[in-house]
């Protein structure tokens, strides 16, 4: 159960961080008229196509004691970043980035531009327009972004294995735990965890689709 708790904690942290970072990035990608914006769009989508091991490998190198991030971290906090919970969060944020940003972009772009014009001529600056108009009208997208990044982080394996290793209570998430059990031929324990993950994932995705289908709004 320690593994499950750790996974949920990781997923919640990652989802929260991704919403905070994802919104300005998505806002910029949705509304910028810069011609080179496709480059950033490609970077954002990269984790969708890269094998988790590639991402995990670079994350590990960067966070290692000789990597730029690792060095900085040691200088700041006196300990390394690899094989820690914080390191895991960092790598997971990268890995789940498109799952948060893509739904946000889609819903921001879906807001009628004339509503933004209306807000502007009524005296609202960009920030107020975002809070009062764009965000409320993009709520399904925000929920989708939060839930997808939560669920995606919950189920990740490759990145966690590369960056986090397998330290009980620190980096041993559910998916690692299952792998561990199978390796030691404890199929019963593996099955319990696998089933649990399956149920949680299904429930979470049901929430996303229900929100998008407006099941709860009459």
Partner 1 sequence: MSGEVNGTMLTAQIRKQRHGASSFVLDVSIEVLAGITILFGASGAGKSTLLDCIAGLTRPDEGRILLSGDVLFDSVRAIHIPAPKRRIAYVFQTLALFPHLSAEENVAYGLRNLPEEQRRERVGEILMVFRVEKLRKQRPGEISGGEKQRIALARSLVTEPRALLLDEPLTGLDAELKAAIVDDLRGWNTAKAIPILYVTHNRDEVDALGERVIALDNGRVVTAGAPMEVLNAPRRKKLAQAAGFENLLNATVLDLREADGVMRVKLGESACEIEVPLGYAAAGSSVQVAIRAGDILLATERPRGLSARNVMEGRILSLEQRGTMAIAHVDCGVTFVAHVTPGAVRVLELTAGRCVWLVLKTHSCHLVD
Which is closer to partner 1, CB of 109 or CB of 180? 109
Terminal CA-CA length for the chain: 39
Whole-angstrom distance, CA of residue 44 vs CA of residue 102: 9
Which one of 112, 169, 192, 202 is in contact with partner 1 (CB under 8 A)?
A: 112
Answer left, alpha or beta for residue 124, where phi above 0 means left and psi between -120 and 50 means alpha. beta
**Does 218 participate in binding partner 1 (rule CB under 8 A)?**
no
Contact 163, 129 (CB under 8 A): no
The Cα 29–Cα 101 span in angstroms is 9
Half-sphere exposure of 200 (CA within 13 A, CB side): 21
Query: Reduced to 3 DSSP states, what percent helix, strand and coil does the chain have, rounded to the nearest 5?
Result: 80, 0, 20
Alpha carbons within 13 angstroms on the beta-carbon side of residue 146 total: 13
- Contacts with partner 1 by CB under 8 A: the residue count is 17
Q: Is the CB of 90 or the CB of 133 nearer to partner 1?
A: 133
What is the smallest separation between the CB atom of 216 and partner 1, expressed in angstroms?
16
Rule CB under 8 A: say whether 173 interacts with partner 1. Answer: no
Can residue 34 be called a binding residue for partner 1 (CB under 8 A)? no
110 part of the interface to partner 1, by CB under 8 A? no
Q: Which lies closer to partner 1 via its Cβ, residue 107 or residue 119?
A: 119
Q: Shortest Cβ distance from residue 134 to partner 1 (Å)?
A: 11
- With binding defined as CB under 8 A, does residue 119 bind partner 1? yes
136 binds partner 1 (CB under 8 A): yes
**Of residues 22 and 140, the one with the C-beta less far from partner 1:** 140
Give the interface with partner 1 as residue ranges (CB under 8 A): 112, 114-115, 117-125, 128, 132-133, 136-137
């Amino acid at each position: 159960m320690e593994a499950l708790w750790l996974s949920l904690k990781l997923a919640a942290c990652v989802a929260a961080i991704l919403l905070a970072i994802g919104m300005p990035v998505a806002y910029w990608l949705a509304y910028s008229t810069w011609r080179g914006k496709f480059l950033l769009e490609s970077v954002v989508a990269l984790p969708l196509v890269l094998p988790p091991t590639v991402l995990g490998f670079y994350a590990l190198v960067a966070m290692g004691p000789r990597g730029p991030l690792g060095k900085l971290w040691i200088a700041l906090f006196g300990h390394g970043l690899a094989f820690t919970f914080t390191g895991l969060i960092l790598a997971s944020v990268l890995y789940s980035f498109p799952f948060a940003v893509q739904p946000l972009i889609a819903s921001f772009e879906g807001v009628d531009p004339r509503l933004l014009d209306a807000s502007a001529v009524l005296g609202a600056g960009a920030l107020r327009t975002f809070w009062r108009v764009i965000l409320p009208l993009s709520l399904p997208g925000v929920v989708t972004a939060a839930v997808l990044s939560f669920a995606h982080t919950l189920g990740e394996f490759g990145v966690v294995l590369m960056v986090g290793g397998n330290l009980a209570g620190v980096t041993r998430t559910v998916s690692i735990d299952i792998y561990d059990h199978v390796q030691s031929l404890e199929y019963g324990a593996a099955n319990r965890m696998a089933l649990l993950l399956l149920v949680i994932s299904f429930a979470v995705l049901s929430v996303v689709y229900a929100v998008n289908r407006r099941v709860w709004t009459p």
